[in-house]
Structure 1
Amino acid sequence: MSRMIRFTRITAWLFLVGISLGAIVLSSFYLYLRPGLPAVEQLVDMRLQTPLRVYSSDNRLIAEFGEKRRAPITIEQIPTLQLHAFLAAEDARFYEHNGVDIKGLVRAAVELVSTGSIRSGGSTITMQVAKNYFLTRDRTFIRKFNEILLAFQIERELPKDQILELYLNKIYLGNRAYGIEAAAQVYYGKPVKELELAQMAMLAGLPKAPSAYNPLADPERALIRRNWILQRMNELGYISNTAYELASGAPVTARYHGAETELNADYVAEIARGEMVRRFGDEAYTDGYKVYLTVDSEKQKAANKAMKNGLQAYDQRHGYRGPIGQLEKDTLESGDLAESLSSFSTYPPLRPAVVTSLSNDKAEVYTQEFGMTEMPLETMAWARSYQNPDRRGPAPNKPSDVLAIGDVVYVEVINEPKAEVTGASENEPNEEAHEAATQDKVKVALSQLPEVQGALISLDAQNGGMLALSGGYSFQQSKYNRATQARRQPGSNFKPFLYLAALEKGRTPATLINDAPIVFDDASLETIWRPENSSGQFYGPTRLREALYRSRNLVSIRLLRSIGIDYTIDYLNQLKIDTSQIQKDLSLALGSGQLTPMEVARGFAVIANGGYDVKPYLIDRIEDSRGNIVYAAPSVIHCDENCAEIAQQTPTPDVGFPAIQVAPRLADERAIYILHSMLRDVIERGTGRRALALNRQDVGGKTGTTNEQRDAWFSGFNYSMATTVWVGFDQPSPMGRGEYGAVAALPIWLDYMEVALAGQPPSVMPRPNGIVTVKIDPETGERAAPGNTNAVFELFREENVPAQQTSDAIQSGEDGGTMLPQELF
């Protein structure tokens, strides 16, 4: 008996010593590790790695940049059933334990022994929060002990709901989706609040192993995991037996949904992305910034459509260049056409198709999306074979004149059926909708990917905000942004700046310049330069107004000579037009220098707004992940005098970015007003007459074409908006006879402006003081004598009104004759 008592005492003492030693060890670990644990307050302040999102001015998502897709939400925004699904899967006793669940650890051990695997896991949600936010994923005892200590600390300092919210926003759920809201979008294409019970359970099964239980990678395994979670929810009383049976019998409906952009504006998005990286470095991709641009979604859509249509129209005017590929007979007979077409890129609205049969009036072609489709002969009428920019082959009489079986070509759908089936949606059509959409054979039209390129820039003339921008046919085809990067000769699109310089130097719309041949001969030159008008004709003495709207080259050369090259270069610098790549000779009058389309558009915006400086900008404001505005574009105020003083006196607010930007006057408002009138005549009676289709009296503009039609331009504006369009090949080469600015560029500008100006009231520059209207003789440009029945009204600055006199200066004149070589070069 005494031995038993003695043994019991020894055992008790050993137990107490063991407990003491364990407590000492644990305390030592705690004292050793505690100083290195992060403060829980960091959880509240920590920025989740959220992608950069770019929006239009009317809140349409344009792009998302960053490796992690995340959309943080509050716990109040998450359905109770979704919360219960995660609790059933990960931590059913979450609201009962203090960070570490002993019962959960025991249950996990039992599961391991009985089934050979752990389904519910031993880590609590709080422990996972600690691991995900602060700790590494190293499988070490020290890391696990840190996790337990930190879990206790989190539980002491944060309420349960906040811990659960942090967990559901941080957890990785596969396919770049971080957080439950991003996962709902990735797998089901809708917010978490719209998910069905089976879908909620599927998401709840992902944290344990996002790759193994991913419904996209392994639907069968994911289904088993989902149904186990539904069973747990039923056992815990979260759902009824009926709900369990219905949900567990539901099919797997998950499929990948990329970032659902609402506006196609890749060139714009790339500019914004570059600016954000310049401002914030690599953190721009992870800190959850939202960038709101000046771009209007409807105008941008119009720009995209106008550019694609205009470039395709040019391309089809010059003929068919042949198929983009050819499938062998064995491939056609194998029936595996979809896989064969997958190697060919799609450039919406163009999609690849393979020709499978030909008849006298149509071709049968196969597309990945619609299967077998019809291509009627009339859709190939344009497809005369391309020979060179000026020549095409004969018109096709039957499909075999254009196509051969096995040809891979680009097509556009012309009668895509619209399915009207209950339960179908644009993002996730069901099988019934797809069947209805394809029961009538889709018809397509032959097309091809244009080789010609273009750019469109539309600016708010009053403040410089970019309203729309297109840098080419397709960003997928080429990321080269021609709107901002391509330096090209503007040709006659440059003439308004020359004429504005002349108006400020005292010339008037009534000034006569002789439109006569000019020859420049110099032994140092390989050839004699004989500048001509595009028509090849000469028209004699011509008023500047008419010379501008008819785009007379020889008048422009003589005008530049009369006002001086140095003066003109200085004036261009005054307008803040880049002259670094502008030639300092008389060829300047024909736009021989090089400017980007953006620079041309900016110059026209200065003209449009009455002569004030314009600094084009794209970003309207930037918000951080909490919705705080970290940058906002300053309001632009126009300034006529003492602008530097006004700028210095404008206080900078506490937010760290200026609230006001001063735009000083760069050109005389009276000269600008007269130029507006002259440029409206370009549309009313000159080379821009196609723009009369707008049926507006407030629009002016100028065409532009360079030698051999290598560049085609049109720039047009009203008082509120300036838009420039350029068309040409990336490697400058002739576009073909007749491809002038009015033919290649103006239709694109017109299609865009029809949308951009729709519903907008007329916007005309107010008439400034110091402008007078006088009747002149159109033949002489002089003030008309009383009773002159041919007299027309003309605008003048009051100090430049012509006198009533007779002059034969033109016939004897300083502006006629042959120029010396040094006057050109």
Structure 2
Amino acid sequence: MSHLLRTSRLFAWLILTGLSTAVIITSGFYLYLRPGLPPVEQLLDIKLQTPLRVYSEDSKLIAEFGEKRRAPITIEQIPTIQLQAFMAAEDSRFYEHFGVDIKGLARAAIELVSTGSIQSGGSTITMQVAKNYFLSRDRTFIRKFNEILLALQIERELNKNRILELYLNKIYLGNRAYGIAAAAQVYYNKPVAELSLAQMAMLAGLPKAPSAYNPLANPDRARIRRDWILGRMRDLGFITDDAYELAVSAPLTASYNATETEVDADFVAEMARSEMVRRFGEEAYTDGYSVTLTVDSVKQQTATDALQNGLEAYDRRHGFRGPIGQIDPDTLANREPSDLVLNYPRVESLIPALVTSVDDENLVTSVYARGIGEATMAFETMTWARRYKTEDLTGPEPEKPSEVVSAGDVIYVHAAAETGSEETGTEEALPAVSLAQVPRAEGALISLDTDTGAIEALAGGYSFGQSKYNRAIQAKRQPGSTFKPFLYLTALENGMTPATIYNDAPIVFDDSELETAWRPQNSSGQFYGPTRLREALYRSRNIVSIRLLRDVGIQTTLDYLKQLKIPVENMPDNLSLSLGSGQLSPMELARGLAVIANGGYDVQPYLIDRIQDVKGEILYQAPKTVLCDKDCDQITAGTSEPENRQENDAKQETRVMRRLADERSVYILHSMMRDVIRLGTGRRARALGREDIAGKTGTTNEQKDTWFAGFNHEIATTTWVGFDQPAPLGRREFGASTALPIWIDYMKVALSGTPAAMMPRPNGIVNIRINPETGKRARPGEDGVFEVFKEEDAPAPLPPESESDGNGNSSGDDLSRQIF
């Protein structure tokens, strides 16, 4: 009996010694590791790496920047059954343990002893949160012990729902998807709340091994994992037997769904990205900012399409430059067409295609188009393809397909809106495509809200993928005759009127810096004699502009440009200034045009309307614009509370836009520029059927730059077409044939459904009937036209008949000074 007692005491002491040793060792580990553990409070302020997202003014996604796809959501937004799926897969006793599951750790220890290697970590969801947020992924005992200690701290500081929310927003689920919301989008293109039970179980199976159980890479293993989780959910009482049977019989429906942008606006997206990096550094890509731009999605998409279509139309007028590649007959016979077109990139809507056969008899060409497959190309889509020789010279119109392409040619095609042909004789018609090519010419389009300066649409070139160069804001080009409205406005501000007459006659200037004298001409090469300024503007008479600048003064004009805040650094100080020989970017020209359009107020173009953080709180709000005529300093340039904003959102500043030009002069210029549409070089724009539009075409020497700048009182839009390296576009190409059609295609949509917007008539304006030949008041019974004047600049009242020469001129007038 005493022996049994002694033995029992020995075992008791051994157990106590073992426990004491374990406690001492554990305490030692804790005391050693505790100082290096991060405070759990960091979890409350943790910033999940969430991409930068850029949206249009009407909340359409334009772009997403950042390595990790993530869309953090709250636990209230996640269905309970989805939470249960993850618990069944990862930690069924999550709501019961204190952060560490003793059973799970014991199981992991037994597996280690029996197999000699780590089979499972015995980790709880809380321990995975500790690992994912704070620790490395090394499979070591030290890291595991740190994980346990952190889990215990986390459980003391945070409630279970918060821990589960952190876990579901952090976990990696394959295909760059971090968090459950991103995974639901990537695999099923749905929000979490719309997933089926089978889909929920599939996502719950991914954390164990995102690559091994990925439904896209390993569908069979993914199905096995999904069905095992569904079985666990049934055994745990989360789902019924019927729900289980229905879910395990469901097919795999996962597919790759990249984040789809809703607007083709790469150039404005890059402008927004660049500005965000300037403001926030590299954190712009990871801190979950949302940027809302001023661009309207419909107008922006229209601008992109209009510019691309206009450049393609110009390109077709100058012929076909041939295939972009050639496949030799042996390669063509021995390799799959799908492999042969892979080396050729898609450019916007242009698709690389391999010509497989040419049938001159039936006027049909067979091609294999990347992403489409076998297709047919009717000869009607190829008749434009005269052989390119120079910008001014093309070959004859082709009469059969073989004059354009041959088998083995690699070309670009457009996918046709309608596919197939009833004449193919096949049960299933092949898709139809049309011949295309990437334009060599480039262009830009900028559209501004004239009151606020908000950029409503911007396209900086044919393809951002081909060239990141944003011609809308970076290209410095000669504006040509689109500069003339600024010259004419200067003249109107200095006493000239639309009825002032100048002689459109040859003029010669000697210049010591030139080898020959300068003999400027009109674009037509003709001269038209005495011409009123109104007609000179809408007919874009160069000689009149030169004479006008000479009278107004070069320095006076440059000073007035500075007043309008138009850059003059690249403006010449000679008479060629009148012909637009200086340099402006399309944006600078568009801004100046907007000043004219809004009645003479300053305009500061801007793109970003607001910036929000990952929680939706507004960090920046674009200033509210106030147009001011006088006493502007009394307007508070401070802040005002935006309507319908959260209490702690950024307050909205006020931006005061002062008057830069006399409203009467601007009103008269509007009238003159509307005649450019009604009677002059912009007549094509009459197709819009609106009386409120005004504008000016522009074409530089040798047609190297072509423009159209047009507006109504609310929207101003400028388009430019030219080569990146200035070169002639062709002798028959002008602003009216290249840039204006793009402007029309855009404005047709931008103005659709909007009422006419004319500048209100200011005080101090009079309408007077004049003799169009002399610019003087018309006498009763004399042919005349009505003209608009500032009161102080109106023609003098008619003298008595006895003091007149019979032509409406008083004896003291010297008309020759104005003419010669």
For normalisation by structure 1, the TM-score amounts to: 0.93
Give, in whole Å, the separation in 1 of the partners of 2:776 and 2:319.
Answer: 51
Alignment partner of 2:428 out of 435, 439, 454: 439
Q: CA deviation at 1:117?
A: 8.8
> What is residue 287 of structure 1 aligned with on the other side?
287
Per mean C-alpha deviation after superposition, the further-off stretch among 92-101 and 213-222 is 213-222
Q: CA deviation at 1:27?
A: 2.9
Partner-residue secondary structure (3-state), 1:660: strand
Name the CA shift for 1:774/1:685 in 2 (closer, same or farther; >3 Å). Answer: same
Contact 1:562 1:815 in 2 (8 A): no
Alignment partner of 1:735 out of 729, 750, 753: 729
Q: CA deviation at 1:228?
A: 2.7
Matching of residue 799 in structure 1 with residue 792 in structure 2: yes
Q: CA deviation at 1:191?
A: 1.9
Letter in 1 for 2:605: P
Name the CA shift for 1:565/1:256 in 2 (closer, same or farther; >3 Å). Answer: same
Give, in whole Å, the separation in 2 of the partners of 1:814 and 1:768.
Answer: 28
Give, in whole Å, the separation in 2 of the partners of 1:506 and 1:195.
Answer: 72
> What is residue 53 of structure 2 aligned with on the other side?
53
Give, in whole Å, the separation in 2 of the partners of 1:687 and 1:312.
Answer: 22
For residues 677-688 of structure 1, what are the structure 2 equivalents within 5 Å? Answer: 677-688=671-682
Alignment partner of 2:711 out of 712, 717, 721: 717
> What is residue 813 of structure 1 aligned with on the other side?
817
> What is residue 68 of structure 1 aligned with on the other side?
68
For residues 148-159 of structure 1, what are the structure 2 equivalents within 5 Å? Answer: 148-159=148-159
Letter in 1 for 2:718: T
> What is residue 693 of structure 1 aligned with on the other side?
687
Letter in 1 for 2:568: T
Q: State the Cα deviation string for residues 714-772 of structure 1 (Å, max 9, x = none).
A: 01001100000000011110000121000000000000000000000111111111111
Alignment partner of 1:379 out of 381, 388, 392: 381
Letter in 2 for 1:806: N
Give, in whole Å, the separation in 2 of the partners of 1:583 and 1:415.
Answer: 50
Give, in whole Å, the separation in 1 of the partners of 2:651 and 2:200.
Answer: 44
Contact 1:557 1:587 in 2 (8 A): yes
Give, in whole Å, the separation in 1 of the partners of 2:429 and 2:78.
Answer: 43
For residues 293-308 of structure 1, what are the structure 2 equivalents within 5 Å? Answer: 293-308=293-308
Partner-residue secondary structure (3-state), 1:813: helix
For residues 286-365 of structure 1, what are the structure 2 equivalents within 5 Å? Answer: 286-334=286-334, 336-360=336-360, 361-365=363-367
Q: CA deviation at 1:326?
A: 1.3
Q: CA deviation at 1:83?
A: 1.7
Contact 1:415 1:442 in 2 (8 A): no
Partner-residue secondary structure (3-state), 1:271: helix
> What is residue 491 of structure 2 aligned with on the other side?
502
Contact 1:774 1:793 in 2 (8 A): yes
Q: CA deviation at 1:153?
A: 1.9
Q: State the Cα deviation string for residues 659-715 of structure 1 (Å, max 9, x = none).
A: 200001110110000000000000000000000011111110000000111111001
Partner-residue secondary structure (3-state), 1:177: coil
Contact 1:558 1:815 in 2 (8 A): no
> What is residue 760 of structure 2 aligned with on the other side?
766
Contact 1:129 1:166 in 2 (8 A): yes
> What is residue 572 of structure 2 aligned with on the other side?
583
Matching of residue 407 in structure 1 with residue 401 in structure 2: no
Contact 1:417 1:438 in 2 (8 A): no
Give, in whole Å, the separation in 1 of the partners of 2:221 and 2:158.
Answer: 36
Q: CA deviation at 1:438?
A: 10
Alignment partner of 2:539 out of 541, 550, 557: 550
> What is residue 201 of structure 2 aligned with on the other side?
201
Give, in whole Å, the separation in 1 of the partners of 2:768 and 2:619.
Answer: 54
Letter in 2 for 1:200: M
Letter in 1 for 2:785: V
Q: CA deviation at 1:304?
A: 1.2
> What is residue 134 of structure 1 aligned with on the other side?
134
Contact 2:598 2:759 in 1 (8 A): yes
> What is residue 774 of structure 2 aligned with on the other side?
780
Q: CA deviation at 1:342?
A: 1.2
Give, in whole Å, the separation in 1 of the partners of 2:594 and 2:517.
Answer: 37
Letter in 1 for 2:552: I
> What is residue 433 of structure 1 aligned with on the other side?
none
Give, in whole Å, the separation in 2 of the partners of 1:312 and 1:585.
Answer: 37
Q: State the Cα deviation string for residues 436-460 of structure 1 (Å, max 9, x = none).
A: x993211111111111110000000
Partner-residue secondary structure (3-state), 2:207: coil
Name the CA shift for 1:682/1:438 in 2 (closer, same or farther; >3 Å). Answer: farther
Per mean C-alpha deviation after superposition, the further-off stretch among 570-579 and 342-351 is 342-351
Partner-residue secondary structure (3-state), 1:746: helix
Contact 1:687 1:742 in 2 (8 A): yes
> What is residue 212 of structure 1 aligned with on the other side?
212
Partner-residue secondary structure (3-state), 2:374: strand
> What is residue 184 of structure 2 aligned with on the other side?
184
Give, in whole Å, the separation in 2 of the partners of 1:329 and 1:649.
Answer: 73
Contact 2:637 2:653 in 1 (8 A): no
Contact 1:512 1:810 in 2 (8 A): no
> What is residue 93 of structure 1 aligned with on the other side?
93
Name the CA shift for 1:63/1:10 in 2 (closer, same or farther; >3 Å). Answer: same
Per mean C-alpha deviation after superposition, the further-off stretch among 244-253 and 511-520 is 244-253
Q: State the Cα deviation string for residues 426-483 of structure 1 (Å, max 9, x = none).
A: xxxxxxxxxxx99321111111111111000000000000000101111112111110
> What is residue 525 of structure 2 aligned with on the other side?
536
> What is residue 424 of structure 1 aligned with on the other side?
none
Alignment partner of 1:454 out of 433, 443, 450: 443
Partner-residue secondary structure (3-state), 1:659: strand
Percent identity of paired positions between Structure 1 and Structure 2: 66
Equivalent residue pairs, number: 797
Q: CA deviation at 1:204?
A: 1.4
Give, in whole Å, the separation in 2 of the partners of 1:155 and 1:129.
Answer: 11
RMSD of Structure 2 on Structure 1 (CA): 2.3
Give, in whole Å, the separation in 2 of the partners of 1:812 and 1:775.
Answer: 22
Matching of residue 744 in structure 1 with residue 738 in structure 2: yes
Letter in 2 for 1:126: T
Q: State the Cα deviation string for residues 188-232 of structure 1 (Å, max 9, x = none).
A: 222222223332222212212223332333334333333332332
Per mean C-alpha deviation after superposition, the further-off stretch among 652-661 and 299-308 is 652-661
> What is residue 557 of structure 2 aligned with on the other side?
568
Partner-residue secondary structure (3-state), 1:23: helix
For normalisation by structure 2, the TM-score amounts to: 0.93
> What is residue 753 of structure 1 aligned with on the other side?
747
Partner-residue secondary structure (3-state), 1:291: strand
Partner-residue secondary structure (3-state), 1:178: coil
> What is residue 434 of structure 1 aligned with on the other side?
none
Letter in 2 for 1:201: A
Alignment partner of 1:628 out of 611, 617, 639: 617
Name the CA shift for 1:757/1:814 in 2 (closer, same or farther; >3 Å). Answer: closer
Per mean C-alpha deviation after superposition, the further-off stretch among 518-527 and 564-573 is 518-527
Q: State the Cα deviation string for residues 344-381 of structure 1 (Å, max 9, x = none).
A: 11123211111111112111111132221111111101
Partner-residue secondary structure (3-state), 2:54: strand
Q: CA deviation at 1:246?
A: 4.3
Per mean C-alpha deviation after superposition, the further-off stretch among 221-230 and 664-673 is 221-230
Name the CA shift for 1:810/1:527 in 2 (closer, same or farther; >3 Å). Answer: farther
Q: CA deviation at 1:623?
A: 0.7
Give, in whole Å, the separation in 1 of the partners of 2:435 and 2:464.
Answer: 22
Letter in 2 for 1:753: M
Give, in whole Å, the separation in 1 of the partners of 2:813 and 2:734.
Answer: 34
Matching of residue 366 in structure 1 with residue 368 in structure 2: yes
Structure 2: give runs of 5+ residues left out of the alignment: 421-425, 643-647, 799-807
Letter in 1 for 2:576: S
> What is residue 429 of structure 1 aligned with on the other side?
none
Partner-residue secondary structure (3-state), 1:357: strand
Q: CA deviation at 1:68?
A: 0.9
Per mean C-alpha deviation after superposition, the further-off stretch among 546-555 and 345-354 is 345-354
Q: CA deviation at 1:156?
A: 2.3
Give, in whole Å, the separation in 2 of the partners of 1:17 and 1:376.
Answer: 92
